[in-house]
Amino acid sequence: MDFMAQWIMIAGAILLILGAILHVAPWLLSWFGKLPGDIRIETERIKVFIPITSMIIVSIVLTIIINIFKR
């Protein structure tokens, strides 16, 4: 149970830091959702946004970070 509590606290700290960075410097993630491959469909009534390319980049970066800390 201690292991799970530790991971929840780490995830909370990461979210807190990310929120503070986005509050102070919102331009750091202005690229998110504007890459080629991100799908945006807008009609009069519906707005659909699917950030495929952006999420692939986020996944690759997180995989690299996790592998660095794993070793």
Please tell me the predicted confidence (pLDDT) of residue 29: 78
* Amino acid letter, 1: M
Question: Can you give the pTM of this predicted structure?
Answer: 0.63
Domain parsing of the chain, residue ranges: 1-30, 31-70
What is the CB neighbour count within 10 angstroms for residue 50? 13
Residue 53 confidence class, pLDDT cut points 50, 70, 90: very high
Three-state secondary structure readout of 31-61: CCCCCCCCEEEECCCCEEEECHHHHHHHHHH
For residue range 8-51, list pLDDT tens digits in order.
998 899 899 989 988 998 888 787 778 899 999 999 999 999 99
What is the CB neighbour count within 10 angstroms for residue 53? 16
Please tell me the predicted confidence (pLDDT) of residue 1: 67
Q: Which H or E run contains 18?
A: helix 2-24
Contact (CB, 8 A) for 54 and 32: yes
